[in-house]
Amino acid sequence: MAFYEEFVEVMLSAEQLQKRVAELGAQITQDYRGKDLALVGIMKGSLFFLTDLARHIDLPVTVELMGVSSYQGGTETTGEVRVTHDVSKPVHGRHVLLVEDIIDTGLTMRFLLDNFAARHPASVKVATLLEKPSRAKVKVGIDYKGFTIEDRFVVGYGLDYGEKYRNLPFVGVMRTD
């Protein structure tokens, strides 16, 4: 029995994730053909989605990482966002696609959109694997979305609980029974 089976129930299987990520990659390939695209993954949650998505984009993209922290340890966001790691190259004049694991309250993405707008890229768009619309505190436009989910705390495929469970190949819900 795998280590997680006792604690986590599958919500989105590895197959469902891979199929949807391939579709998003194909869409992004179409939309950005002939454009200079920088993928900016938001650490650490987006890492697994980012690397799978990048492999489905048939364009010479660059990959950057941005680290932000908004969680003080629990499952509730505080609204306070802090940059812990910045991109390594300027994005001025380039097309930026911010890649997130989940948009929950929207506060992190709102901060990132404002932060990137100030760098004067050619454009900034948003790709997120998951959205929990019922939790939104601020409205952010999502250009590429994997799945809409209900208000459950999820783990796996990059998403963590206390830094663990990121390495599950699926998205799951912590068992409460």
Q: Point out which residues bind Mg ion (CB under 5 A).
A: 45
- Residue 153 in contact with ligand IMP, rule: CB under 6 A: yes
Dig out the tokens for 71 from the structure. Answer: 């969680």
Q: Among 36, 86, 104, 177, which one carries the catalytic annotation? A: 104
Closest CB to ligand IMP among residues 4, 32: 4
Q: Which residue is nearest to Mg ion (CB)?
A: 45
List the end-to-end C-alpha distance of the chain, in Å, as a whole number: 18
| Contact window for ligand IMP (CB under 6 A) among 8-16, 20-28, 94-102, 115-123 | 94-102
- Residue 52 in contact with ligand IMP, rule: CB under 6 A: no
Q: How many whole angstroms separate alpha carbon 16 and alpha carbon 100?
A: 18
C-alpha 16: how far from its chain's center?
A: 16
How many CB atoms lie under 10 A from the CB of residue 21?
23
Using CB under 6 A as the binding rule, the residues of this chain from 28 to 47 that contact ligand IMP are 45
- Residue 104 in contact with ligand IMP, rule: CB under 6 A: yes
| Contact window for ligand IMP (CB under 6 A) among 3-11, 82-90, 100-108, 115-123 | 100-108
28 binds, options Mg ion, ligand IMP, none, Cβ within 5 to 8 A by partner type:
none
CB 11 within 8 A of CB 149: yes
Q: How many whole angstroms separate alpha carbon 110 and alpha carbon 71?
A: 15
Alpha helices (H) along the chain? 14-31, 47-55, 107-117
Dig out the tokens for 139 from the structure. Answer: 């409205």
Q: How many whole angstroms separate alpha carbon 107 and alpha carbon 103?
A: 8
- Residue 131 in contact with ligand IMP, rule: CB under 6 A: no
> Pick from 113, 154, 156, 172: which binds ligand IMP (CB under 6 A)?
154
Residues tagged active-site: 104
Residues that bind ligand IMP (CB under 6 A): 45, 70, 77, 100-108, 153-155, 159-160
